[in-house]
Amino acid sequence: MEGEGCAVTAFVHPLFLYISAMEKPYLALSPEVRAALQAGMPVVALESTIISHGMPYPRNVETALRLEEEVRGHGALPATIAILGGRMKAGLSEAEISYLGKQGPRVTKASRRDLPVLLARGADGATTVAATMAIAQMAGISVFATGGIGGVHRGAAQSMDISADLQELARSSVAVVCAGAKAILGLALTLEYLETHGVPVLGYQTDEFPAFYSRSSGLPVDYRIDTPLEAARIMQAKWGAGLAGGLLITNPVPEAYAMPAGAAETAIAQALAEAERQGIKGKAITPFLLGRIEDLTGGQSLEANIQLVLHNARLGAAVAAAFHMPE
């Protein structure tokens, strides 16, 4: 047994030392992002699944560029994250964003589990919330703005379908600004899972957990906050106390673009029934449901989606600026 223990040590530790010495060889920061991080300036991570899998071209590219403009316009630097040519990239050029938008679903939808395979194969990947959080932490980015997180799927008691986003929130020390979990999910179960894993759920100027397309779900958040500075102080206290892992800052969709909860639920129920009849599961389920809900709502859900993610980018920039504010 002693010999076996030595063999394991000899196998694991040199690899760890190699990666440390090479300063994360699979991670590539844009010069602008690298300079901002080195200077202690606010940076906001943005995901790329919304580009390749969340919206049709060219709306996806237009929205991604607008997100970056919103972050810049509110005091922070955007860092859109993706896998390109087997490298985890934080900070994409306009040409790279356009490439992901034109490729669309042909680009692998990449969660944490997909990263080693894509890196080894020199492939491309559009990062989900989970993968974006993991890469943001590697890069040293503390704030990530997205649309809605994944969660516990309806019927999970039978399917065990639980998004990797939730486990990543427990693992990666990144604050995620979102409009709650996607409304196609079991929101009460999602909140229970987050509570079990010690992830604080904060409501920005709200006492209720937002339901993505709708402003309220009838479910309470853990704590209400009313300013970006409050969020920043909670982040500082959490990580300063050695409490690893992320936190969720939920930001309701702007009222002018919110969908009535009943109308959203009717469309979701029909889309879920169609997905079940067609046997659509796994990675394919969320893009299918979002697409069908868009059709069923005459495009209203897509406009709500675009506006809520822009709203979150603005708040993410404000939180990042407050987090990096000199004492």
Whole-number pLDDT of residue 1: 38
Considering the domain boundaries, does residue 19 fall inside one? no
Residues 212 and 253: beta-carbon distance below 8 Å: yes
What average pLDDT does the chain have? Answer: 88
Decide if 86 is inside a domain. yes
Q: In sequence order, what are the residues at sequence separation of 6 or more whose Cβ sits closer than 8 angstroms to the Cβ of residue 243?
A: 198
User: Per the domain annotation, does 127 fall within a domain?
Assistant: yes
Counting residues of the chain whose pLDDT is more than 70, the rounded percentage is: 90
Whether the CB-CB separation of 30 and 90 falls below 8 Å is answered with yes
7-44: pLDDT as tens digits: 333 333 333 333 343 468 899 999 999 999 999 999 99
Q: Is the pLDDT of residue 4 over 70?
A: no
- Catalytic residue numbers read 47, 182
Whole-angstrom Cα distance, residue 235 to residue 175? 7
Buried b (16+ CB within 10 A) or exposed e, 155-167: ebeeeebbbbbbe
Q: Is the pTM of this model over 0.95?
A: no
- Tell me the helices (H) and strands (E) count for the chain, helix number first: 14, 11
Question: If you average pLDDT over residues 315-323, what whole number do you get?
Answer: 98
* pLDDT score at 302: 84
pLDDT tens profile 241-297: 999 999 999 999 999 999 887 787 788 788 878 888 898 877 677 778 778 888 887
Write out pLDDT tens, residues 119-154.
999 999 999 999 999 999 999 999 999 999 987 866
Report if residue 300 sits inside a domain: yes
Nearest CA to 322 among 32, 71, 76? 76
Indicate if the pLDDT at residue 308 is higher than 50: yes
Tokens representing 93 are 């050029």
Rounded Cα distance between 126 and 229, Å, is 31
With 60 as the cut, is the pLDDT of residue 162 above it? yes
CA distance 3 to 34: 44
Residue 49 clears pLDDT 60, i.e. is over it: yes
pLDDT greater than 70 at residue 103: yes
The verdict on residue 163 lying in a domain is yes
Count of structural domains within the chain: 1
Containing domain of residue 54, as a range?
24-323
> Is 18 within the bounds of a domain?
no
pLDDT at 305 over 70: yes
Residue 211 belongs to domain with CATH number:
3.40.1790.10
- Per-residue model confidence (pLDDT) at position 295: 84
Question: Cα(212)–Cα(210) distance, rounded to whole angstroms?
Answer: 6
Question: Does residue 157 surpass a pLDDT of 70?
Answer: no
CB atoms within 10 A of CB 16: 9
